[in-house]
A and B are shown apart, each in its own frame.
Chain A
Amino acid sequence: MPTPAAEHAPGLAPADGIAARARGLTKAYGSGETTVLALDRVDVDIVRGRFTAVMGPSGSGKSTLMHCLAGLDTVSAGQVWLGDTEITGLKDGELTRLRRDRIGFMFQSFNLVPTLNARENITLPLDIAGRRPDEQWLDQVIDTLGLRDRLRHRPAQLSGGQQQRVACARALASRPELIFADEPTGNLDSRSGLEVLGFLREAVDRLDQTVVMVTHDPGAAAHSDLVLFLADGRIVDEMRQPTAESVLERMKRFDVIRAPVDDADRSGRK
């Protein structure tokens, strides 16, 4: 039975423009009576060249969705594709290569290797792969992010905002098919946060990248092209051209509808 969220098919689009796709994506923790469904038969398409935000209350499964799409976590059921590659069922080595070569990551904190300087951090995925960076592209990324005079600095010598910019540059350096950003502004003051969001926006608009950002901050989500709303492991809504106010309004409604949906769902499954 398709979930209500899947029925109205959030973000579904023609296959050639799809950066990542999930069908029937289910992630369960535990077993038997104590099973908790973090993701419940999610269908989603991430469109290439778009800035997608994933929102939802705590425990809604938004981080799990990102981890499963990025090949960091295994799925309980369903299928996930990155471009044309089905990543469900891949072995650890293949997943590692996939993350290295085709995906960029930004985390909330502890994004950088403390022993490496900014430039070394930026090129790390390429260095691990043993690939030479595309210098022209790298220069463009570094200049876009304004890191030119910080390249020799170690992470400890950089501010939080600068560290996130380096992480952003690293995510862009290998020109991946998809960039996942997990609460990239969560640890930053509002000015630095805005800066980082501006760069992600620029990466999509000017550098033609595809970004998926998990956030719980409506202000951050407002920078995206499309917001997907998750609740109880399912995509319950989507919003194009969001503004901070509209997202906040939508979020407020979760507190109201959450409990009934939850109960109905549980009894229905029994």
Chain B
Amino acid sequence: MLRATLRSFLAHRGRLLLSALAVVLSVAFVAGSLIFSDTVDRTFDRLFASRSADVTVEPRGDLESSVPSGAVQTLPASLARELARVDGVAAAHADVEVGDITVVDSGNESVGPTTGAPTLARDWHAGERSVVELASGRAPRGDGEAVLDADTADAKGVGIGDTLSVQAQPGSFRVEVVGIAAFTTTNPGAARIFLDPAVAAGRLLGSPDRATSVSLDAAPGVTDAELKRRVTAGLGGGAYEIRTAGEQAETAADELGAFLDVIKYVMLGFAGIAVLVGVFLIVNTFSMLIAQRTRELGLLRALGANRRQVRRSVLTEALLLGLAGSTLGLVAGIGLAVGLIRLMSAFGMRLETAEMVIRWATPVTAYAVGTGVTFVAAFLPARRAAAVSPMAALADAEIAGAGRPLRVRAAAGSVVGALGAAALAGCAAADETSSAASLLGLGVVLTLVATVVAGPLLVRPVIRVLGAGFPALFGAVGLMSRRNALRNPRRTGATAAALMVGLALVTGMSVAGASMSRSFDEQIDRTLGADFVIQNANFKPFPQEVTDRVRDTEGTGLVVRQRFAPVAVRLPDGQRVETTAAGYDDRVDDVARVTYARGGTAAALADGGMAMDAGFAAEHGVRTGSTLPVEFPGGRRTELTVAALTDMAGGDGFGMRGGLFFGIATVEAYVPGGQDSALYVNAAAGTSTAELRDRLESALDAYPQVQVRDQADYKDLVHDQIAVLLYLVYALLGLAIVIAVLGVVNTLALSVVERTREIGLLRAIGLARRQLRRMIRLESVVIAVFGAMLGLGLGLVWGLCTQQVLALEGMTALAVPWSTVAAVVVGSVVVGIVAALLPALRASRMNVLEAIAYE
């Protein structure tokens, strides 16, 4: 029996090719993402473990905020001298390191990474733990000198002797590059510039007596943990975060890990969708192979093979396919990991492919996924094979299973579909984001399952309509292709379902994306009254000089500054909410349209006053006149009185929970060293906006990180950001669609084999090759368009429901991107034509006589 199975597997290997490809793709993505993340993990674990001081002391990061205020948390530099006296400390160093600065070259171009990774400036502290060593030139001495990292120098063409401008929080200063430092370890992608320790604190922190952390080396015989205990005892703990080298490495790895996790999850998302769509392909392949081998299986049964043997034979074939696919997939996965590592290097993160990590879990997972998926997918077809009666050997049954009723599917499909529809209806009706989002997720999964299950039932009605014009347009060829698509609804359904999954997600995402874009547009129209907004591209704060230059520009009328402050508010209902508050200059009404439920701008921005979102206030028992304790970073506290309640859609969102804002003086008082995050600028009377724009742009020439934007630019910026997100999703789904196309090719190719005699007959009675190709192409197109229709229908419903969830977050506008819908339909026609190329060619090349005689 095993020999018969092996023979059969080898005989059908051509027909299993595309299924194997689906397995290979799925496994490759699983293995590739595992190898990549393991490699990255190990690289950075090593990096941080070897580069962290035995014990590090930092100011306690009490209020973390997703919106940066621009202020740098510092500690007194004298702490290093103090700690040096602690028993067990061999050496103490006051570190000065700031991120998020901008360094520009003489041509006013930023030398920072273009990937969004930060530019870091710190004191030059050569030692065995330094991540860099001097490659050429010398260490910086005194004011006006700096060392730049070699990767940045290479990328931006900076050499020794060049002058750079460093824009730090206290102010910009010029430095001459006197040395180039090479990384001794993996470069995680940031740009680095080093200053003389004697001037670093003054230049970067605004005071020579401050530092950002203290690094301690333990004396021989003192463990890191012991040293941490002693330092903690000496400092009293409260104001400082004290970490051993191990803890520090973990923290650093966690911070980087969040970014790397995104890559990992995107990759696993690819893998998941590849697996899901691959299952359809494999189920279809095995079903068709078994249908074609009905007589052979019947003969085996007639010769005495029992049901279990037949079933086992099919499952063994699946297992062989899974093993072969997994092996190739594992190899492809290694290739994929190498590619990703190279890609990261291109973005400035230097990983070594030679240090690639393949843990034992990777091949185990690869084989588990590959064989598991194939096995599960082949299970139902195998049961069907076992059910073949010995009589089938004699009968001339055309296709087993084609005529079986779809009652079970109808019942299951309608039950699951009803549940899914109920979940989606519940999601649309829900008034809380979290419950709406989980209902949405549930509804999406259930309706997807229902459509897959009931897909075959929709084949007849939908394809009758889609192909209605075929006989009139294409004559007998059109008639036959439509009938062929209707011939086996299960097969057509499963083939189309694979395509549907990807397209439904694309459609749903694009409806959500378009609705978000339109909502932001409306919000910008509604709220933004300024002629220009001056902002950093990634919304990070910018130096004071930018504000000064804008104010000094001729023709500038009103300038309203915006600053952010991380805050924690203790609310009357006992909750402590950490959020970010905004501070504004007085005349905010002239640059923005804020609507209030109670109170007004003047009261909100007055000293000791505060504004809050009305909905948030009601939820937490806050009224106008409530006085609330507010905490700021560094342990600064005050009490502010809620003087106004705002009533704006979307006021309560985007990391700005509660919609808190107050006068900018409050931010300046409690967040010293903060920087402006945005400037709202109106032209002075008599100056045109076009003139002002030109002047502002030339005034800000030396600050490439900030842009001058009017309403239209601002909308474009938001659109671009949403588009980037969508493109990522589209790329992910592109893979699903590629596999689905393979599925269509597979189904057609196997159908062509199955219909060999019919094709022979058609050719004999005069069907031209061209007509035969057209017949197969039309069938392919109708299947693909059917899949697209299901996907569009499902995707539009999902999109509408997603928009309902977004509406709870203030994004109330609904937009259906009809151009995307049209592109999906046109695209599916193209998919159909492309998928039919090979099967049609194969069919048209068949020898007529051999085809007629085919068994």
Which positions in A face B, CB cutoff 8 Å? 67, 72-73, 92-93, 96-97, 99-101, 105, 107, 110-116, 120, 124-125, 127-130, 156, 170
Contacts and interface: CB of A to CB of B under 8 A. Distances in A.
* Interface SS, B side: helix
A128 B757 contact: no
Given A113-B758, A114-B398, A97 B766 contact: yes
Interface string B483-527: 110110000000000000000000000000000000000000000
A251 B771 CA distance: 43
B852 A107 contact: yes
A195 to B, nearest CB: 21
A67 B480 contact: no
A110 B480 contact: no
A79 B480 CA distance: 36
B611 to A, nearest CB: 71
Nearest to B769: A92
A115 B775 CA distance: 13
Those 7 A-B pairs whose CB atoms lie nearest each other, nearest first: A100-B766, A127-B476, A115-B483, A99-B766, A110-B757, A96-B768, A125-B765
Contacts of B480: 113, 115-116
Nearest to B485: A115
Contacts of A93: 768-769
A124 B483 CA distance: 14
B834 interface: no
A67 B849 CA distance: 8
A127 B475 contact: yes
Given A107-B852, A116-B479, A116-B483, A125 B758 contact: no
Contacts, number: 71
A115 B484 contact: yes
B761 A113 contact: yes
Contacts of B484: 115
Contacts of B592: none
Given A96-B766, A97-B768, A114 B758 contact: yes
B479 A99 contact: no
Contacts of B848: 72
Nearest to B477: A128
A105 B477 CA distance: 19
A61 to B, nearest CB: 14
Interface in B761-799: 761-769, 771
B854 to A, nearest CB: 9
B767 A96 contact: yes
Q: Which of A111, A115, A127, A129 has the most CB of B within 10 A?
A: A115
Nearest to B483: A115
Interface residues of B, number: 25
B13 to A, nearest CB: 27
Given A101-B766, A128-B475, A128-B771, 20 more contacts: A72-B848, A73-B849, A92-B769, A96-B768, A97-B768, A111-B761, A113-B480, A113-B758, A113-B761, A116-B479, A116-B483, A124-B476, A124-B765, A127-B475, A127-B476, A128-B476, A128-B477, A128-B766, A129-B766, A156-B398
17 contacts: A73-B849, A93-B769, A96-B767, A96-B768, A100-B768, A107-B764, A107-B852, A110-B757, A115-B483, A115-B487, A120-B479, A127-B475, A127-B476, A128-B475, A128-B762, A128-B771, A156-B398
Given A115-B480, A116-B480, A120-B479, A128 B767 contact: yes
B762 to A, nearest CB: 7
Given A113-B480, A115-B484, A105 B849 contact: no
Contacts of A127: 475-476, 479
Contact of B761 (A96, A110, A120): A110
Contacts of A101: 766
Nearest to B482: A115
Contact of A105 (B475, B758, B765, B767): B765
A111 B763 CA distance: 12
Contacts of B852: 107, 110
Contacts of A96: 763, 766-769
Contacts of B767: 96, 100, 128
B404 to A, nearest CB: 15
Nearest to A155: B398
A105 B764 contact: yes
Nearest to A115: B483
Contacts of B849: 67, 72-73
A92 B847 CA distance: 11
A128 to B, nearest CB: 5
Contacts of A130: 475
B759 to A, nearest CB: 10
Contacts of A113: 480, 758, 761-762
Nearest to B478: A127
Nearest to A126: B476
A145 B757 CA distance: 25
A212 B477 CA distance: 29
A215 B259 CA distance: 78
A49 B805 CA distance: 79
Contacts of B486: 115
Contacts of B771: 128
Of the listed residues A73, A120, A128, A156, the one surrounded by the most CB atoms of chain B closer than 10 A to its CB is A128
Contacts of A114: 398, 758
A73 B760 CA distance: 13
A125 B846 CA distance: 19
Nearest to B471: A127
A111 B768 CA distance: 18
A255 B507 CA distance: 73
B754 to A, nearest CB: 11
A92 B477 CA distance: 19
A115 B480 CA distance: 7
Contact of A125 (B483, B766, B769): B766
Contacts of A111: 761
A156 B396 CA distance: 11
Contacts of B765: 99-100, 105, 124-125, 128, 170
Nearest to A187: B396
Contacts of A92: 769
Nearest to A111: B761
A99 B483 CA distance: 24
Nearest to B759: A113
Contacts of B766: 96-97, 99-101, 125, 128-129
Nearest to A92: B769
B780 to A, nearest CB: 16
Contacts of A107: 761, 764, 852
A92 B479 CA distance: 24
Given A114-B398, A120-B479, A99 B769 contact: no
Looking at A96, A130, A170, the one whose CB has the most chain B CB atoms below 10 A away is A96
Nearest to A114: B398
Contacts of A128: 475-477, 762, 765-768, 771
Give the one of B475, B476, B479, B487 with max A CB within 10 A. B476
Contacts of B477: 128
Interface in B732-778: 757-758, 761-769, 771
A238 to B, nearest CB: 26
Contacts of A156: 398
A214 B254 CA distance: 82
A127 B398 CA distance: 25
A93 B766 CA distance: 9
Interface in B391-414: 398
Nearest to B758: A113
Contacts of B769: 92-93, 96
A230 B852 CA distance: 23
A229 B330 CA distance: 64
A130 B478 CA distance: 12
Interface string B203-227: 0000000000000000000000000
A129 B475 CA distance: 9
Interface string B157-181: 0000000000000000000000000
Nearest to B767: A128
A191 B145 CA distance: 109
